[in-house]
Amino acid sequence: MPIQVLMPALSPTMEKGNLSKWLKKEGEAIKSGDVIAEIETDKATMEVEATDEGTLGKILIPEGTADVAVNTPIATILSDGESADDLGKAPAAPKAAAVAPDVAQEVAESRSPVGEGKPMISAPAAPGAPKAAAEPDPEVPEGTEMVTMTIREALRDAMAEEMRRDPDVFVMGEEVAEYQGAYKVTQGLLQEFGAKRVIDTPITEHGFAGIGVGAAMAGLKPIVEFMTFNFAMQAMDQIINSAAKTLYMSGGQMGASIVFRGPNGAAARVGAQHSQDYSAWYSQVPGLKVIAPYSAADYKGLLKAAIRDPNPVIFLENEMLYGHSGEVPKLDDYVIPIGKARIVRSGAHVTIVSWSNGMTYALKAADELAKEGIEAEVIDLRTLRPMDTDTIVASVKKTGRAVTVEEGWQQNGVGAEIATRIMEHAFDYLDAPVGRVSGKDVPMPYAANLEKLALPSVAEVVAAAKAVCYR
């Protein structure tokens, strides 16, 4: 019976990909291990290896097909003795093809967890979100055309626009140029701006972070990409001691206009050393600004603001969100002010404060709560330092209850800081202690079930919101 070859997944979270090339023709003999096709996502290209022997019977998905869902049959392999006539027969249990990363990929992949995220529930599109987009950013004029783009594209456009605008802006980091970005965030920048301004570094975070800060002290405006913020631990000294403190230590004479950006927090199934959320770490440091957006528009507008800012800015992205799309205003200069939270959904009963991927849980929880008659007001903090305390406090004064949602650890976390500020500024308005939903107090486990347990969940946010509402 013919064997079906299925569209393989490049990562546990990949949902679809492009079938870019067939390397074998129909009727050609295939041995186990032969590379039969190439598939790609927006992040990586992979070779599909045959796991069975026989003859390539029929190609079901022609090359050049985009968005092929994982597990779609892409070809059939005929075993010895079978002929094309057998193709009509019902297939045996389908087998997924193995994926063989090529060598160049392997280097980056071992350092860059690949994973496509879940579909983003952006506020306006959220099903059953009656009061979505309560407060659009005031800087977008009415009637502005909205363009749907992925967060990855929004980031790239922000960098490209700022590089066109200011010749002192350049990008440096591992695989940002010729490889087109480990997560393809810098795709196309090398082609437009050349090797002088899009610079591949060796794997040497401490060193290139220091070189970036030195260049910034001399007046350039570097964008330093960390393949993930986990690796920025190696560069922590230069970020804190050199970038954040120099303006103060020099009595205002010199500082560093520099952006450190890259994916932060948990991706999927990459274990403890690749899954840490550094929101609390960086946002403790005076001299740094810390941004962690959720929506595509905010990613673009805030990255442009970060590049223009004369201070060192930590720009925390989230890998799970890179592939997600959102609407971005089509404006020549869409810059969102740093330090302003956004009320994504208004409600009267409980305030939920989150940022970055935490918003995914917060918004879904708000939908659930609405079904039970609890109207949650959801605040996307967007900037962690300086923190928009006013927006939080005003909301809590209205609702009398608050829950924070973060992927990071609870002790000394951003949620702890938010709770303290609420206590300091709205104590008399609180009808219940502030609830915190956070990552669990453990290194990130690898096993799928444990990883899920270690992260916040919609159910936990719902439970916390109900608890502060005494429901």
Partner 1 sequence: MAAAKKSVTKETGQEKGQDKASGAGSPPDFTREQELRALRDMLLIRRFEEKAGQLYGMGAIGGFCHLYIGQEAIVVGMQMALKQGDQVITGYRDHGHMLACGMEANGVMAELTGRQGGYSKGKGGSMHMFSKEKNFFGGHGIVGAQVSLGTGLAFANRYRGNDFVSLAYFGDGASNQGQVYESFNMAELWKLPVIYIIENNRYAMGTSVTRASAQTDFSKRGISFNIPGEQIDGMDVRAVKAAGDRAVAWCRAGKGPFILEMQTYRYRGHSMSDPAKYRTREEVDKVRHDQDPIEQVRNRLLAAKVSEQELKAIDAEVREIVNASADFAQRDPEPDASELYTDIYR
Select 126 or 313, whichever has its Cβ closest to partner 1.
Answer: 313
- Number of residues engaging partner 1 in binding (CB under 8 A): 39
By the 10 Å C-beta count (0-12 exposed, 13-18 middle, 19+ buried), 23 is classed as middle
- Closest approach of partner 1 to the CB of residue 230, in Å: 18
Check if 47 is active-site.
Answer: no
Per-residue contact string for residues 96-135; x = within reach of partner 1 by CB under 8 A: ----------------------------------------
Contact between 194 and partner 1 by CB under 8 A: the answer reads no
> Given the complex with partner 1, which of 179 and 409 has the nearer CB atom?
179
Using the rule CB under 8 A, is 173 a contact of partner 1? no
3-state SS of the chain: helix, strand, coil percent to 5?
30, 25, 45
Q: How far apart are CA 224 and CA 114, in angstroms?
A: 20
**Is 215 among the residues that bind partner 1 (CB under 8 A)?**
yes
Return the closest-CA partner of residue 66 out of 16, 128, 131, 100.
16
178 makes contact with partner 1 (CB under 8 A)? no
Task: Compare residues 217 and 316 and give the one whose CB is closer to partner 1.
Answer: 217
Nearest distance, CB of residue 292 and partner 1, angstroms: 18
Q: Token pair 């186990």 is at which residue? A: 32
Residue 35's CB is within 10 A of a number of other CB atoms, namely: 17
Contact 297, 335 (CB under 8 A): no
Kindly give, in sequence order, each residue whose CB lies less than 8 Å from that of residue 457, ignoring residues fewer than 6 positions away. 361
Q: Which of the residues 246 through 265 are near partner 1 (CB under 8 A)? A: 246-255
Active site residue 324: no
- Structure tokens belonging to residue 273: 């050393």
d(C-alpha 300, C-alpha 217), whole Å: 25
Q: Which of 196, 373, 427, 470 binds partner 1 (CB under 8 A)?
A: 196
State the DSSP code for 183: T
Query: Is the CB of residue 403 less than 8 Å from the CB of residue 437?
Result: yes
- Residue 456: asked if its preceding bond is cis (omega within 30°), the reply is no
The answer to whether residue 340 forms part of the interface with partner 1 (CB under 8 A) is no
Which helix H or strand E contains 430, and what residues bound it? none
For the bound state, the minimum distance from the C-beta of residue 225 to partner 1, rounded and expressed in Å, comes to 15
Contact between 88 and partner 1 per CB under 8 A: no
Binding to partner 1 (CB under 8 A) within 142-171 occurs at 170
Binding map of partner 1 across residues 268-307, x = CB under 8 A, - = no contact:
------------------xx-x------------------
Which among 445, 354, 448, 368 has a CA at the least distance from the CA of 407? Answer: 354
Pick the catalytic residue from 109, 153, 274, 319: 274
Helix H or strand E segment including 415: helix 414-426
Nearer to partner 1, 121 or 220 (CB): 220
SS3 at position 242? helix
Beta carbon nearer to partner 1, 1 or 254? 254
Distance (Å, rounded) from C-alpha 4 to C-alpha 87?
10
**Smallest separation, CB 385 to partner 1 (Å):** 10
Phi, psi of 166 (to 5 degrees): -140, 110
Determine the length of the chain.
Answer: 471
Q: Which part of the chain contacts partner 1 (CB under 8 A), choosing from 18-26, 39-47, 214-222, 422-430? A: 214-222
CB of 387 to partner 1, least distance (A): 14
Indicate which single residue of 91, 219, 337, 433 sits in contact with partner 1 (rule: CB under 8 A). 219
Which C-beta is closer to partner 1: that of 24 or that of 261?
A: 261
- Which residues are tagged catalytic? 205, 274
Residues that bind partner 1 (CB under 8 A): 170, 196, 201-202, 204, 206-220, 237-238, 241-242, 246-255, 286-287, 289, 310-311
